[in-house]
Structure 1
Amino acid sequence: MGTNYKTGQSLDLKNSTVLIAGAASLVGSHTADQLLAAGTREVILLDNFSFGSMQAIEHLRDHERVKIVRADLLRLPEIIQATKGVDGVVHLAAYMSLGFSQTPWQAIDVNLRGVQNMLEACAINNVKKVIFASSNATYGYGTGIKGELHESMAFHSEGAPPAAILYGASKIMGEQLCRTYLQQRGLDYLVLRYSTVYGERQHYRAANALYIMQTYDQIKSGQAPVMPGDGSETKHFVYVTDVARANVAALQSPTTDTAMNISGPDAVTTGELVQLILDYCGSNLKPEIKPDPPGTVRLTSGGAFYIPHNKAKDAIGWEPQVPIKEGIKRLLDWRKQNDTP
């Protein structure tokens, strides 16, 4: 790992209790799996279950090293109680861009006050380290997004829908709250900026991951898959088990006070993505080009940009392992086995 980063506390997982906020989710459930496989002493799964599904963590309900806690991020006393005796926190709970479009008041509350409440509780209870789930949305959207999206890049908003900008801005503020708590209260943290996460236990809320599911549904019903453009639009996905590994590596790393991209091995165009799903289904259907209605949120659309992950390799020793073709196969295999949205 690199030596040019600030160092703070790292966790010995076998002697640690780790809390996952927003645990009843795609990333949360897989992160719990990875933590348990790594021998973590205790894993606390915290969720208010407004979006999260008990089904996602049902396989962990009776695990001897798992504790499930129903609590609300907006109720500080509940979070203070939940973080007592906790060594590390993986903070995943958040509204995404679709939430900012549908219920912006609630989304702002959860993505800002909810983060602040968690950081305050962690500081009060002397939690050693917080991993904050951010997003490549912190680079913005629209015409200014070109080339390599490196971690020091400025935020761009020209031409983007308000919900997308609000979501990206909320993640920037969450990151800066983490920095504030390190500077003022000594709380170590790392920020992981996820690309679009997809994989088994996929939900129907994230705009780009939702596109995979919608396309599969169309093809299976005999309809031509719909593409919003000519197929050249770039999208960036990262498989959920890779993201879970990054969360675990971040907890174990002494690196603190920095942000890093967590992206997949390669970008994929919309056309390539649709063809992968067609190939999986053994279908000869031809895509129908139909532009998105005005204001539609597609998080990583825009152009031929690239999201490097070399900083994560240097800082926490992480690299993605699952290419998009293999990831699509795993996701759709799971979908077939579970047959209902």
Structure 2
Amino acid sequence: MKNKNILITGGLGFIGSHIANKLIEENNITIIDNLSTGKITYLNNPNHENLTLIKKNLKSIDLNDDLRGIDYVFHLAAMVSVPISIEDPISCNFENVSTTVNLLDACVKNDVEKIVFSSSAAVYGDNRNIPLKETELPSPTSPYGASKACCELYLKSFHESYGLNYTALRYFNVFGPKQDKNSPYAAVIPNFVNMILENKQPVIYGDGEQTRDFVYVGDVANANIKACESDFNGIVNIAGGSQISINQLYGIVKKTLRTDIEPKYLPERIGDIKHSQADICNLDYINLKIDNDKFQENLIKTINWFKQIK
């Protein structure tokens, strides 16, 4: 992708900053981010001549002005926490659904070529038809999952009604450098690493035998770019296509950090699912392959990044 005008909502965040760093040398990048979780330091060059940074919330700006002349949109800005969505479903709906509809409307009015939407495996809920295919009916168990499923329907409807091209990427468990370790709702890997580095017991909710399908953030950034360049309109699972239990994951982290600290087990959280694994056949539609054999290598790379910033 070269010489394009690109908008990234949430472009200072964990995934958005990786996309921006990959594209900024050969494209004009506009980032909209309210810095609620993102950081300017996540960009390799925050002063790059190809960068326009709008430090505002999506709901407080005139999207028609900001999308004028934009070719592609990567939409990552959202409330991303299942627990927070359960605590405040009204805000979740507004931040995830209403702002997305406003963005889609602005995309249509400004003749945007394509939007790539960051969805989530949370739309599947506790579906036992593993590996999960994109054709499964959504069955979310949290307001967060419901909001992502709703946005996917809006994307399809805008494609059918107005011809807006889109790809919705259903992320499974993303990990990698720049993931927020300080959030009280931090993802499992940064939570484990951060607690161990502070010589504290990490927490595992439930018995630890729940399984997840992890995918490295570099692969997720590549998936966004590949989806944008493709002609595919629809939904694609973004995952490694395999399962690992939380107990197994902790064992790898523990071994890598050379610690004897054992985790503390607490009751399962409302909205959490037991098992998750993606069918990744649709990756072919966006011409992407994910090498899951590099999982441990990427995990060690991630752990070392957290050690460096400690």
Instruction: Give the conservation status (yes or no) of the 8 Å contact 1:250–1:316.
Output: yes
Residue pair 1:73, 1:117 contacting (<8 A) in 2 also? no
Residue 273 of structure 1 is matched in structure 2 by 249
Q: Cα gap change, 1:232/1:50 in structure 2, threshold over 3 Å: closer, same or farther?
A: closer
CA distance 1:225–1:61, change in 2 (3 Å): closer
Q: Does 1:317 align with 2:287?
A: yes
TM-score, normalised by the number of residues in structure 2: 0.91
Alpha-carbon distance, 1:280 to partner:
0.9
Which of the residues 303, 306, 309 maps onto 1:332?
A: 303
Aligned amino acid, residue 130 of structure 1: I
Amino acid aligned to 2:204: M
1:55 pairs with 2:41: yes
Letter in 2 for 1:171: K
The corresponding residue for 2:274 is 302
In structure 1, what is the equivalent of residue 24 of structure 2? 36
Aligned residues of 2:71 and 2:114 also touching (Cα < 8 A): yes
Q: How far, CA to CA, are the matches of 1:108 and 1:333 in structure 2?
A: 36
Q: Distance in 2 between matches of 1:145 and 1:167?
A: 19
Higher mean alpha-carbon deviation, 323-332 vs 86-95, is at 323-332
CA distance, structure 1, for counterparts of residue 204 and residue 194 of structure 2: 14
Secondary structure, aligned partner of 2:187: helix
> Larger deviation: 46-55 or 125-134?
46-55
Give the 3 Å change call, closer, same or farther, for CA 221–62 of structure 1 in structure 2: closer
Alignment of structure 1 residues 182-331 onto 2, 5 Å: 182-204=159-181, 205=183, 210-256=187-233, 258-288=234-264, 290-292=265-267, 295=270, 297-298=271-272, 301-303=273-275, 305-312=276-283, 314-321=284-291, 323-331=294-302
Aligned to 1:3: none
* Cα 1:44/1:114, change in 2 over 3 Å: same
Q: Hey, what does 2:62 align to over in structure 1?
A: 78
RMSD: 2.1
In 2, Cα distance between the equivalents of 1:272 and 1:54? 34
Deviation of the 1:102 alpha carbon: 3.5
SS at match of 2:231: coil
Alignment of 1:155 with 2:126, yes or no, is no
Aligned CA distance change for structure 1 residues 332 and 129 (closer, same or farther; 3 Å): same
Mapped to 2, the partners of 1:82 and 1:18 lie a distance apart of 11
State the distance in 2 between where 1:132 and 1:64 align: 26
- Aligned residue for 2:15? 27
- Aligned to 1:274, the other structure's residue is in SS state helix
Per the normalisation by structure 1, the TM-score is 0.83
- Can you give the 5+ residue segments of structure 1 that lack an aligned partner in the other structure? 1-12
CA distance in 2, matches of 1:176, 1:67: 30
On the 8 A contact 1:133/1:193 being kept in 2, the answer is yes
8 Å contact kept, 1:22–1:47: yes
Letter in 2 for 1:253: S
**Aligned equivalents of 1:246 and 1:239: distance in 2?**
11
How many angstroms apart in 2 are the aligned matches of 1:218 and 1:28?
25
Count, aligned residues: 307
> What residue is the counterpart of 2:51 in the other structure?
66
